Structure 1
Amino acid sequence: MNKAVIPDMVSNPTRWVLFYGMIMAGFAYLSTLQPEGESYGFFSMLPALLILVVAVLTKKPLESIFAGIIAGLLLLNPAGIVTGLGDISLAVVMDETIAWIVLVCGMMGGLINMLERGGSVLSFGELLAKRIQTKRGTMLTTCGLGVMVFIDDYLNSLAVSASMKNLTDRYKISREKLAFLVDSTAAPVCILVPVSTWAVYFAALLEENGAVAEGKGMSLYIESIPFMAYGWIALVVVFLVAAGILGDFGPMKAAEKRAQEGQCIPDGGQQMGFDTSNLRKTSPVVGLINFLLPMAVLIAASVYYEIDLLLGALVASLFTMVLYFWQRLLSFSDLVDSMLDGFKVMLHPIAVVCAGFMLKDVNDQLGMTPYIIDTLTPYLSKEMLPALVFAAMAAVVFATGSSWGVFVVSLPIVIPMALAMDMSMPLTVGALLSASAFGSHACFFSDSTVLSAQGSGCTPMQHGLTQIPYALLGAVFAFVGFIMLGFWMA
């Protein structure tokens, strides 16, 4: 499509209605060509491709995902689109994972809001500003904090970005680069640490799918860590960028140029949205303690409750409320308002993540994941299995944004395939986790991408477009690495 037409389409709703109407009519027509009871084949990938096209045109992830959902439902059953939309909406709302995500995101937003209003984040930033005197030092510190907050990618995305925004603004670092530094040390780091929510989830999933005997899931996960190529490469890439060894390129170069001219926050970007009009000022030492103590309690409580960030966030929120009320930093009413406002600020990211799960449901009904795996199966060999598993699952997670949910469908296919070929199970698991980390890192509507953008003060599309060249660079090296490992270990 001619780029000159796009601004006119944006300003002209009639053209958008015609644009979407023609596309949706096309999907409804394709449904009539589908023989009943047969696989949708290539048609199953069309809703995901539509999402990418609409996202590039509109720069709006939520609208793009819903366009893909409607298109998928039309492909499944045009006459039942309303009931289909109602059914998947209800299924997603009732899903235990979604409930966990909503509560974790909301409580994390409330906790960070309390830290903001109590002056703790400001004190932490001011203390860092006295110790860090260079742009490079600021970026390396951001990466270092991201690695230290390894227990969960949600905690990383929100806490690190909130504590580093003022300092990165001081050295004219774009919010897009801050989001990249934060996001690159979220999922890619979490998969490399056995004490994380990712490790606990996938270890249980490996046991359920027969990859290892019951009780041995975590042992297999730990054996697989050296083979999680994308996690290691993404970590190297982000530190090279932070150190200034790997320069800016693509959309990131334009974002950094804009920041150097004095505009760190991009057009359309915004702060987390917290009300800091009644910000409390404390001494730097007290402020630092008030910041570090809740973070320490959050991590300790999460570990104590078997790496459950929800219970950790609950304990940390209660602890912070008592701590701040005891110091008279905030009244009880202010503390409650902080928690509620935190939930409100996180509504848009939560909506995007929920829409992503609805899309996954539609893709599952269309059979997209089995189609991609079946298409690659004729090209599989023992040597190429890890590389093709990485490529296929990375594409699926990127298209759906569901770095966890996809593997409930794919593991029952991939694990028996690896066992039949007698391929190294740690290498296979490493390829799967690498694919999951890449999808979470690169997809513009994945949970960690959306939260990193929200915390850093840019839109998910601005973050996604500036980050994807670096993510693709890491993916290419990881793919080559899996080819080499496959031939070496076959």
Structure 2
Amino acid sequence: MNFAESAWSLLPPLLALTAAVVTRRVVPSLAIGILAGVILLGGGDWQASAQILWQKVSGLVWADGGLNSWNLYIVAFLLLLGMLTSLLSLSGATQAFADWAIARIQTARGARLTTVFLGVVIFIDDYFNSLAVGSVSRPITDKLRTSRAKLAYLLDSTAAPMCVLMPVSSWGAYIIAVIGGILVSHQITDISPLHAFVAMIPMNFYAVFAIGLVIVTAIWPINLGAMKDSERRALEGDTGRVDASALADEQEPLANGHLLGLLVPIATLVFATVIGLVVTGAMAVLNAGDKLTALAALENTDVGLSLVIGGVIALAVAVMMLLRQRPTVKQLGRSFTLGAASMKGAIIVLFFAWCIGSVISDLKTGTYLASFVGDSMGTNWLPVLLFVLAGLMAFSTGTSWGTFGIMLPIAGDMAAATDLVMMLPYLAAVLAGSVFGDHCSPISDTTILSSTGAGCDHIEHVRTQLPYAVLVAIVSAVGYAVLGTSGSVMAGFFAASAVFTLVVWGLQRGVRDV
């Protein structure tokens, strides 16, 4: 029996999501969803299901007759970043930076604003953003008693929203490539894919107002839902750090730690990664015999390889700077070991998340959800419908990129069948909904890496971020409802802005200034 593209395809993600919320244990919850999925794929035949399970597990490392380079590059980068963080701790540079920052940033508000600033500036890639900014910000937020849950929220809600708004990012390049195909298929030649992407920025209400709420939350300590408990514990001295993130700090720093010992390796990491993105993209274009342009390079860049290149070079720079403090071989070896071990939990969760993502993809859960887009609904509600449906799909599948691939062409077809003028608003609604669903999903790899970057318990991050994401989604839904009814992007944006302003005004009233 074929359970793909049916209501049964919703079972694995629903089981995984429910178990994660109830038990607050990610790996067993994902395992339940994976087992349910392979049983459905096997049609109830245990032998076939076992074979599919083996294919899914082995496919995480070996796929299409070769190594699964994307997965392995991401794992390698996590290990490199763990080792780099550990070396910076050993050198005393992390402590030196924290002391320097606290001498100038003396309030929790300053720590939050610093994190948001770094998150907004570093928009090359969401993985890189969450992990790199988290490594820099953790010592400051810990010292100034900001919870790891709040840090994870600041990281997650600046990473994906910034990446989805910026054309010069891994997300931007992917989206531009997809939009280009949609425009060609509908014979739209009066606007380029890049121009279309830029024009959609103010229409992406969720991303715009998610960043707005992050900035507001950084200025005022607005704590919603479970975040209240996390922040209260942080004020009492318990920031909520998880055991894995603490490993790299369990070593005595060397004497004479210096601020530059942190800034130079991190700056090297950023610079080398950017160079890697440009070089790998340019080589791919040239090897294909195509014309080399900046946009073509970004569309063809190898993000995983670029992250590894940046990580290796940054680690080498950190080691060379550390050698001036004359560490022993034992200290170096232990630091490398602790750093790599600190990423063990994140890597395990990622592997399970990738596995359930593959199972859900084969069950065509996203395609089943997309089938609910009907022609009978009034066109004025289509922006809201696309936003909600993309959110449900990204939440259920744990991937915004996968949702882009399925929903953007559908949105394009709907615009072509109704009103081509609404093409870009429909596409923007899909982008917004995808990021919203991704933010709420405990099986999303970007959510997992944000909790990793913050050193926060993953389920705590999901629980504490959810109220903020839902609040911005409500604001966005109002904007899309007005946009669909009026046909005016300006009217939709102003309506969403008005609701957002009222919400912020209500939230910040009576908030103690911190």
From 251, 254, 260, the counterpart of 1:286: 260
Which residue of 1 is the match for residue 473 of structure 2?
475
**Equivalents in 1 of 2:276, 2:76: separation in Å?**
14
Which residue of 2 is the match for residue 370 of structure 1?
367
Q: Indicate how the Cα distance of structure 1 residues 152 and 114 shifts in structure 2: closer, same or farther if over 3 A, else same.
A: farther
What does 1:256-295 align with in structure 2 at a 5 Å threshold? 256-265=231-240, 270-271=244-245, 273-274=247-248, 277-282=251-256, 284-287=258-261, 289-295=263-269
Q: Indicate how the Cα distance of structure 1 residues 134 and 53 shifts in structure 2: closer, same or farther if over 3 A, else same.
A: same
What does 1:6-45 align with in structure 2 at a 5 Å threshold? 36=1, 41-45=6-10
> RMSD over aligned Cα, in angstroms?
2.9
Shift of 1:134: 1.3
Which deviates further from its counterpart, 36-45 or 413-422? 36-45
Establish whether residue 72 from structure 1 lines up as the match of residue 70 from structure 2: no
Q: Indicate how the Cα distance of structure 1 residues 440 and 40 shifts in structure 2: closer, same or farther if over 3 A, else same.
A: closer
What does 1:184-195 align with in structure 2 at a 5 Å threshold? 184-195=157-168
Shift of 1:316: 5.0
Shift of 1:455: 2.5
Establish whether residue 298 from structure 1 lines up as the match of residue 272 from structure 2: yes
TM-score by length of 1: 0.83
Contact 1:180-1:467 within 8 A present in 2 as well: yes
Contact 1:294-1:320 within 8 A present in 2 as well: no
Which residue of 1 is the match for residue 312 of structure 2?
317
Shift of 1:169: 2.1
Q: Indicate how the Cα distance of structure 1 residues 209 and 202 shifts in structure 2: closer, same or farther if over 3 A, else same.
A: same
From 255, 258, 265, the counterpart of 2:230: 255
Which residue of 2 is the match for residue 419 of structure 1?
416
**Equivalents in 1 of 2:441, 2:408: separation in Å?**
21
From 59, 75, 80, the counterpart of 1:107: 80
**Equivalents in 1 of 2:90, 2:193: separation in Å?**
42
Structure 2 counterpart of 1:461, one-letter code: I
1:44-92 C-alpha deviation (Å, 9 max, x unpaired): 2122221122112211122211211111222232212101111222334
**Equivalents in 2 of 1:301, 1:146: separation in Å?**
19
Which residue of 2 is the match for residue 16 of structure 1?
none
Contact 2:265-2:318 within 8 A present in 1 as well: no
SS at match of 2:245: coil
**Equivalents in 2 of 1:40, 1:299: separation in Å?**
39
Structure 2 counterpart of 1:465, one-letter code: R
Q: Indicate how the Cα distance of structure 1 residues 103 and 243 shifts in structure 2: closer, same or farther if over 3 A, else same.
A: same
Which residue of 1 is the match for residue 56 of structure 2?
88
Contact 2:60-2:71 within 8 A present in 1 as well: yes
> Sequence identity of aligned pairs in percent?
32
**Equivalents in 1 of 2:394, 2:108: separation in Å?**
34
Shift of 1:147: 0.9
TM-score by length of 2: 0.79
1:239-267 C-alpha deviation (Å, 9 max, x unpaired): 111111x621211111111222221226x
Shift of 1:111: 3.5
1:130-160 C-alpha deviation (Å, 9 max, x unpaired): 1111121211111111111111111221122
Q: Indicate how the Cα distance of structure 1 residues 287 and 364 shifts in structure 2: closer, same or farther if over 3 A, else same.
A: closer
**Equivalents in 2 of 1:320, 1:38: separation in Å?**
47
Q: Indicate how the Cα distance of structure 1 residues 319 and 50 shifts in structure 2: closer, same or farther if over 3 A, else same.
A: closer
**Equivalents in 2 of 1:209, 1:353: separation in Å?**
31
From 144, 149, 153, the counterpart of 1:180: 153
Which residue of 2 is the match for residue 236 of structure 1?
212
Which residue of 2 is the match for residue 98 of structure 1?
71
Structure 2 counterpart of 1:298, one-letter code: A
Which residue of 2 is the match for residue 404 of structure 1?
401
**Equivalents in 2 of 1:63, 1:117: separation in Å?**
34
In structure 1, list runs of 5 or more residues that go unmatched: 1-35
Q: Indicate how the Cα distance of structure 1 residues 345 and 201 shifts in structure 2: closer, same or farther if over 3 A, else same.
A: farther
Which residue of 2 is the match for residue 395 of structure 1?
392
**Equivalents in 2 of 1:447, 1:318: separation in Å?**
25
Establish whether residue 57 from structure 1 lines up as the match of residue 7 from structure 2: no
Structure 1 counterpart of 2:240, one-letter code: I
Structure 2 counterpart of 1:263, one-letter code: D
**Equivalents in 1 of 2:93, 2:450: separation in Å?**
20
Contact 1:143-1:239 within 8 A present in 2 as well: yes
**Equivalents in 2 of 1:292, 1:73: separation in Å?**
42
